[in-house]
Structure 1
Amino acid sequence: MGASGSDTLLIHPNDPATALALLTRLPIKARFERSAQAAWAYPLAGAVLASLASLPMLAALWLGLPDLIAAVIFVAAMVILSGAMHEDGLADTADGLWGGWDKARRLEIMKDSHIGAYGVIALCLSLALRCLAVATLLNAEWAAAYLISVAMLSRAAMPLVMTALPHARADGLSHAQGRVPRKTALAGLTVATAFAYLMISWMALPLAGLCFVCAALCAATARVKIGGQTGDILGATQQVSEISLLIALSALMG
């Protein structure tokens, strides 16, 4: 089947490899003709990342290191494996949306590689909240299952924003991928919720609802501030969703 025929499919066997190549620094060979349609597989990329990051975390716990140190190791591994892609998006979004006074200036700031005060604050808060929340979850049996579920659901939030908003600029990674079909975004959320349910039972359902709310809030903010979405907005959406899900899990299990 040619590329034009594969574009009509909701799910394609090559989509997970495409998602891994886009969202990680793993040496994955992939074809990018279906970049937009492959967005349903973003949660699968999250599952791979969290599974790999859990290995050094579990080793740290086995060696008797404190929970907080193990949590820092997990978060650091996630950042390294993803190339800090989402953290970079969060910092650029914080600088742009709150450092600019109009759409053009906000987009200009977001494209600038330099980081400002808002970006530094956002990164510090993100890392601190994630490390502390992960540390609270490590007392639970099957802690890795909770972390994998969060990684999947938070990455399901990105396609929801990609289908809800037009592109804010005519270039960049997000624009190159194209507009994500609504059925693709819903398929991603369904896949993430189903896998999370298998791992953490009923808690997957309210977490999926929270994921949807986070995506909606991020999309609404981006629409007001810049009239659409960019790759940075998607990274910020993932970070906001991940932090919210980790805090919610900590509250549910606390």
Structure 2
Amino acid sequence: MATALPSWIGARVNEVHLAVVFLTRLPWFRADWSVSLMSAAWAFPLAGVLLGAVCGLVAGLAMEAGATPLLSAVLAVGAATLFTGCLHEDGVGDTADGIGSGRDRERSLEILRDSRIGTYGLVAIVMTLLIRVSALTMLLEAGSWWAGAMPAWMLAAALGRGTGPLFTRLCPPARADGVGAGAGRPGAVGTVVALLLPLVAGCLTAFGVTGGLMVPLALVAALAPLPWLARLARRRLGGYTGDVIGAAILIVECTALALLAVTWV
């Protein structure tokens, strides 16, 4: 038992590192990649919490320095793109171009792998940026950043990343190679934990904000785009790719942040 416990703890710590290394651009985390990425599915929301905390702090410091809520929100969203290396924005753009192209499955998958951005992709990326900036501006205008914008973004980012594993269980991989297929499929326990962590956190947060129980309800409502995107991915692409998972994560994050902004205000 004495040996098994440290081994179990070490495996969980490595899974946290896997989630953070894959979903962020933080250089000081080291992970053992000999295990499947989706073994770390339960820890995906923790990377979102880290993102929300860091970028919420950027917004808060900007506000304390005298910046307007709009400028502070723009700086925070800019920090988020640096924090993640535009990983999910790239997924949104490629997915919009591939699914919106109207081409057959094979050509749509080729478009997803094309580094060039099209009209659909550009509009989709701009929309995700505007939604986050607008929602954060509302939260910053409504009250203190540490009791509004930061916890709201932590919840939204955690939920978005927690739904990534769930999305891979809603449809099959579109192809045998690529990041999506190579990540593996998450187990049922890891998927449930990844989803429950932000929802439970939302329930706990509800006791300390004006919106009360509307906070967890907003998080649940933010999951609504997932079945729609899964249906589109199955019909147009034959399933998910790494880009589509990234798109699902950011779409849920944006939806959650927008709903939380309305709820908190």
Do both share a fold (TM > 0.5)?
A: yes
Equivalent position of 2:210 in the other structure: none
Percent identity, aligned pairs only, is: 33
Return the letter of the residue paired with 1:98.
Answer: G
Equivalent position of 1:31 in the other structure: 32
Q: Is the 8 A contact 2:52 2:151 kept in 1?
A: no
SS in 2 for 1:212: coil
Equivalent position of 1:117 in the other structure: 119
CA distance in 2, matches of 1:246, 1:121: 19
CA distance in 1, matches of 2:185, 2:66: 47
2:170 to 151, 164, 172: 164
Give 1:15 deviation, angstroms: 1.4
Q: 1:80 to 1:200 in 2, by over 3 A?
A: farther
Q: Map of 1:71-150 to 2, 5 A cutoff?
A: 71-138=73-140, 139-141=142-144, 142-143=147-148, 144-150=150-156
Return the letter of the residue paired with 2:137.
Answer: A
Structure 2, unaligned runs of 5 or more? 208-212
Structure 1, unaligned runs of 5 or more? none
Q: TM-score, normalised by structure 1?
A: 0.91
Give 1:124 deviation, angstroms: 1.2
CA distance in 1, matches of 2:204, 2:76: 22
Q: Which runs of 4+ in 1 moved over 6 A?
A: none
Q: TM-score, normalised by structure 2?
A: 0.88
* Paired residue total: 249
Equivalent position of 1:230 in the other structure: 241
CA distance in 2, matches of 1:200, 1:219: 30
Equivalent position of 2:204 in the other structure: 198
Equivalent position of 1:246 in the other structure: 257
Tell me how large the CA RMSD over aligned residues is. Answer: 2.0
Return the letter of the residue paired with 1:31.
Answer: D
Give 1:189 deviation, angstroms: 0.6
Equivalent position of 1:173 in the other structure: 179
